[in-house]
Amino acid sequence: MDQQIIYLDNAATTKVDEKVVKAMLPYFSEKYGNASSMHNFGRLAREAVDNSRKIIAKSLNANEEEIYFTSGGTESNNLALKGLFLANKSSGKNHIITTKIEHDCILQTCRWLEKQGAKITYIDVDKHGLVNPLDITKAITPNTLVVSIIQGNNEIGTLQDTAEIGRICKSKGVYFHIDACQSFTKSFIDVEKQNLDLVTINAHKIHGPKGVGALYVRKGVNIQAIQNGGGHEHGLRSGTENVPGIAGFGKAVEIADKKQLKNIEKLRDYLIKNILKIPRTRLNGASKERLCNNVNISFRDIEGEAIASHLENYGIIVSTGSACASHTLKKSHVLRAIGLNDLEINSSIRISLSKFTTKKEIDKLIRVLPSIVNTLRTMSPVANNQINRKGGKMTKIKDKFTEFAGSFKNEGEFEEELEEEGLDPEEVENKHFEEEN
Amino acid sequence: MENAQYEKKVMKRFFNPKYAGEIKNPSAVGQVGNAACGDIMRVFIKVEADKKTKKEKIKDIKFKTMGCVAAIASSDAVCEIAKGKTISDAKKITKKDILKKVGKLPQIKHHCSILGEEALLKAIENYELRTKLHKA
């Protein structure tokens, strides 16, 4: 590739830090022993695994023996919910509380568990994507086994009040699991202070390798394995340890620097501020309770994949919540849950930063984005910004009405928008009919 | 930049659509929307009778589309195919013709080419309705 890549899709995955690569390398063809072997050669691998376990446990304020390595976030989330359900089935605790904005690996696990007899409550979120802890309290029944919540949302970046929900779970005697794939090393996680019983984390979102993750399970939690084998990881997760991956995971956690978070957050806010200068844009997700690296914006009247493709032409990599870009043409359930309509969902892009993101890169994005949006809006049959340039209130009004008449918008919203611009909806409608006839 | 999903030909058309825009006093307009994907396409046609054959021809055609890469590229392709065709020939344009013109699209994007076919048909339908009314 001859063009410099500006990678802004760090919520999907991140660049592996060179220090991480270096930490992994010896465990491929030098110290390649099996960490479970009795001999000294295996012990070298075991030391690497134990060292990473120590680092990760410390970062969560947990004990080493409470960290179980897995193949990643999806497996950890599966293990958490399925393992809890299967272990506690006979006690009648078959109720799981989760939210409508979870990652698919939680939602699909819940759908599967429903078929196995579990009862699942999917809690609504507000327009910022925030769970009201009161709703959790209300949903808890004597049969509730676990509350499972995504700490930092992967699409809109909203951070939940983990401490408060943890307090509720503890007082009600219910297990509390968080999916911290996006928030690990970025937001505060302390299994004691936040009363966390299970925590899903992974490596590839924090400049570690793909294919490795972990599940924190508090000592005493009644959980069982979901895959059978040689009894690795204290019997909870059989399978030969991914030693290079685990070594890299530990390194990635070790070098995660809190000081960098402030910088990322600053860049994030600078980017949000500048994108919102483009007319008819909205920030999706909370502005305060937000992952330091997440920006999610809807651009009225245009489609996300088209925006992302134009950006890619400049070497800027982002992702979109648009159905058009998904494998299944399925619209984002997260954007739907915060109340966006189909057009707004399809017009969203997610920009996710990392410690490697520079101001220069963000400035390039800010420079090219307005003209891309303008080009696509000029091409859009539902946009009216190009009419503005031609001037003439009537043309604008007429286009507005055409937009309305196309019924791609609900009436209330349309009227609201007209009023915002100081126009009387009734007058607009009448004038349009006068023109038509 | 290469795009994993689309071949170069499609991207080229997406970045530089020749027929994007609108016709000031069109003979007819057709608009269709696709609920599954959220794409909306509007086609403007200018119809004139050929001086020799007296047959009605699409003299000019433009589109406005809100949609993804495939939708915009397909819109441009349908315009290119339809321009200069007689009304009866333009009616025969199918999504197959559009797909052939636009280039390889992923299977999941094939519905975008139907959008082009439908929008053009709708414009022609509106044109015929209008001329019928006029004659009546």
Mean pLDDT (chain A) is 89
Is residue B115 pLDDT above 60, yes or no?
Answer: yes
What is the model's pLDDT at position B109? 85
C-beta atoms of A379 and B64 within 8 A: yes
With bands split at pLDDT 50, 70 and 90, how would you rate the model's confidence at B2? very low
Q: Residue B4: pLDDT band by 50, 70, 90 thresholds?
A: low
pLDDT > 90? residue A383: no
Cβ-based contacts of A301 with chain B (< 8 Å)? 66
Flag whether pLDDT at A419 surpasses 70: no
Per the domain annotation, does B2 fall within a domain?
A: no
A window 322-361, beta carbon within 8 A of B: 322-325, 327-329, 342-343, 345-346
Percentage with pLDDT > 70 across chain A = 86
CB contact under 8 A, B68 and A342: no
Q: CB–CB of B77/B41 below 8 Å?
A: no
pLDDT tens by residue, A180-208: 999 999 999 999 999 999 999 999 999 99
What pLDDT sits at residue A88?
A: 98
- On whether residue B33 sits in a domain, the answer given is yes
Query: B88: domain range?
Result: 8-130
**pLDDT reading at A411 higher than 50:** no
- Which two three-digit tokens encode residue A383? 């946009």
- Catalogue all structural domains in chain A, each as residue range(s) with its CATH number: 18-255 (3.40.640.10), 258-379 (3.90.1150.10), 385-436 (no CATH)
Q: How confident is the model at residue A404 (pLDDT cuts 50, 70, 90)?
A: very low
A48 vs A202: CA distance, rounded Å? 17
> What pLDDT does residue A304 have?
93
Least confident of A41-45, A163-167, A325-329: A325-329
Residues of A in contact with B33 (CB under 8 A): 406, 408
- What pLDDT is attached to residue A420? 56
* Burial tier of A347 (Cβ tally within 10 Å: 0-12, 13-18, 19+): buried
pLDDT of residue A29: 97
- pLDDT of B35: 55
The pLDDT value recorded for residue A393 is: 41
- Collect all residues with Cβ–Cβ distance below 8 Å to A262 and sequence separation of at least 6: none
What pLDDT was estimated at residue A327?
Answer: 66
| Model confidence band, residue A432 (pLDDT cutoffs 50, 70, 90) | very low
Under 8 Å CB pairs connecting chains A and B tally to 83
Query: Looking at the predicted structure, is the pLDDT value of residue A378 above 60?
Result: yes
Could you tell me if A382 lies within 8 Å of chain B, comparing CB atoms? yes
**Burial classification of residue B33, based on how many CB atoms lie within 10 Å of its CB (0-12 exposed, 13-18 middle, 19 or more buried):** buried
Q: Does A202 touch chain B (CB under 8 A)?
A: no
At A299 the pLDDT is 96
pLDDT at A24 over 80: yes
Q: Does A423 touch chain B (CB under 8 A)?
A: no
Neighbours of A424 (CB within 10 A): 12
Most A CBs within 10 Å, among B1, B8, B72, B130, to test the A interface: B1
pLDDT for residue A330: 79
Query: A310, A313, A324: which to substitute to probe chain B, counting the most B Cβ within 10 Å?
Result: A324
Task: Give dist(CA B43, CA B65) in Å, integer.
Answer: 9
CA distance A118 to chain B (A): 32
The residues of B assigned a catalytic role are 37, 112
Chain B interface, Cβ < 8 Å to A: 1-3, 11, 14-15, 17, 20, 31, 33, 35-42, 64-72, 108-109
Best residue of B6, B10, B68 to probe chain A, by most A CBs closer than 10 Å: B68
Mean pLDDT on B92-119: 90
Question: pLDDT for A84-112, tens place per residue?
Answer: 999 999 999 999 999 999 999 999 999 99
Q: Which residue of A has its CA nearest to B14?
A: A306
Lowest mean pLDDT among A18-32, A158-172, B108-122: B108-122
Residue A270 predicted with pLDDT over 60: yes
Residue B15 lies in a domain: yes
Residue B1 has pLDDT above 60, yes or no: no
Collapsing DSSP to helix, strand or coil, B96 comes out as helix
Which residues on B lie below 8 Å from A303 (Cβ)? 38-39, 66-68, 71
pLDDT digits (tens, 9 = 90+) for A109-168: 999 999 999 999 999 999 999 999 999 999 999 999 999 999 999 999 999 999 999 999
Q: What is the pLDDT of residue A30?
A: 97
Q: Are A32 and A264 in contact (CB under 8 A)?
A: no
Residue A233 in contact with partner chain B when CB distance is under 8 A: no
Under the banding of pLDDT at 50, 70 and 90, the label for residue A436 is: very low
Nearest to A382 among B15, B20, B66 (CB): B66
Answer for the pair A172, A159: CB distance below 8 angstroms, yes or no: no
The CATH number of whichever domain residue B65 belongs to comes to 3.90.1010.10
Q: Please compute the mean of the pLDDT values over residues A230-240 and round it to a whole number.
A: 95
pLDDT for the residue numbered B37: 60
Q: pLDDT at residue B36 above 70?
A: no
- Comparing A332-336, A381-385, B76-80, the range with the smallest average pLDDT is A381-385
* A181 included as an active-site residue: no
B136 in a domain, yes or no?
Answer: no
**What band does A243 get if pLDDT is binned at 50, 70 and 90?**
very high
Reported as a pLDDT band with limits 50, 70 and 90, residue A40 is very high
Residue B78 in any domain: the answer is yes
Question: What pLDDT sits at residue A418?
Answer: 52
Quick one: pLDDT band at residue A417, thresholds 50, 70, 90? Answer: low
The total domain count for chain B is 1
Is A389 within 8 Å of chain B by CB? no
A147-151, A377-381, A389-393, B67-71 — which is least confidently predicted?
A389-393
In percent, the amount of chain A with pLDDT more than 90 equals 82
Nearest CA distance, A51 vs chain B (angstrom): 39
Does residue B64 lie within any of the structural domains? Answer: yes
Whether A17 has a pLDDT exceeding 60, the answer reads: yes
Binned at pLDDT 50, 70 and 90, residue A373 comes out as very high
Residue to substitute from A7, A280, A307, A309, interface B, most B β-carbons within 10 A: A309
Nearest to B28 by CA among B48, B11, B5, B50: B48
Nearest CA in chain B to A327: B108
What is the nearest CA distance from A4 to chain B, expressed in angstroms?
Answer: 10
Residue closest to A4 by CA, chosen among A358, A372, A314: A314
A387 and chain B: CB distance < 8 Å anywhere?
no
CA distances from A361 to A169, A220, A357, A366, A433 (A): 43, 48, 7, 9, 49
Q: Is residue B86 part of a domain?
A: yes
Whether residue B1 lies inside any domain: the answer is no
